[in-house]
Chains A and B, each alone.
Chain A
Amino acid sequence: MSEVTGQVLSVSAKKGTKREYETILILRPASNKNNILDLVHKMQGVFEKFGASLIKIENWGNRTLAYPIKRSATGIYLYWRYIGGSDIVHEFERNLRYTDAVLRYYTVKVDEDVDATARPSEITEDLLQTISEPPPEPEPEPVREVEEPHSVFSNDDEEGLEEGVP
């Protein structure tokens, strides 16, 4: 753990390549612009230290959660995409755990054997300014293209069994 390699420690990985990960954070709805900017800047330091690079970051705005997390009914979604070695996810998530504003995080490996130089970072200071402000329209309910898609399955007989319908 003490050794910082920035490499992918896997036998099957190609030499000199990295992995692409994406992490979604849910922040407390009370987080303001400065909180988010601080978090991003702090994490950029972590990425740099571990030889990783942030390539994309998006703010999905303050959304209603499907269920409350830590008594919060809404949360600000931040989507991060980055390239790094085996140890970056561990370190990134460790830092997130220490951040009070983070309600939840989830990381997915998107791609492996990535040439880190082939994917330039889209991150600029201007972009960080814009993402730290939530989008003006807080995600209007998308128009349903298929009319009530799940209603097709609403008469699921298994549902009846579980609810003990006589």
Chain B
Amino acid sequence: MSDDKPRSSSSRRSSSLLANDKTLVIDYKNPQLLKSFLTDRGKVVPARISGVSARQQRQITKAVKRARMLALIPYTVQ
């Protein structure tokens, strides 16, 4: 514990973006917002990478699944 290097994985976190905004309302009717939590292939970005809280991540996954149903965002991007 004494001479451990700082964990390099933390560099992958992008804490800057929307993740710091605790008041952010995740709405499935807002595809523009949801797209910022998707990869180019249309997958949901893991919370450890996007840096959102666990609570927000639960809201995001739910909203993404709803928005996909309504063809607001794609299931997959080829």
Contacts and interface: CB of A to CB of B under 8 A. Distances in A.
Contact of B71 (A65, A150, A152): A65
A108 interface: yes
B26 interface: no
Interface of A: 24, 26, 65-67, 69, 75, 77, 79, 104, 106, 108, 142, 144, 146, 149-154, 156, 158-159
7 contacts: A66-B68, A149-B36, A150-B40, A152-B14, A154-B39, A159-B40, A159-B41
Looking at B36, B45, B72, the one whose CB has the most chain A CB atoms below 10 A away is B36
B16 to A, nearest CB: 9
Interface of B: 14, 17-18, 28-29, 32, 35-41, 43, 45-46, 49-50, 66, 68-75
Nearest to A73: B71
A104 B66 CA distance: 12
B39 A159 contact: yes
Contacts of A75: 71
Contact of A66 (B36, B45, B74): B74
B39 to A, nearest CB: 5
A154 B73 CA distance: 17
Contacts of A151: 40
Contacts of B18: 146, 149
A150 B70 contact: no
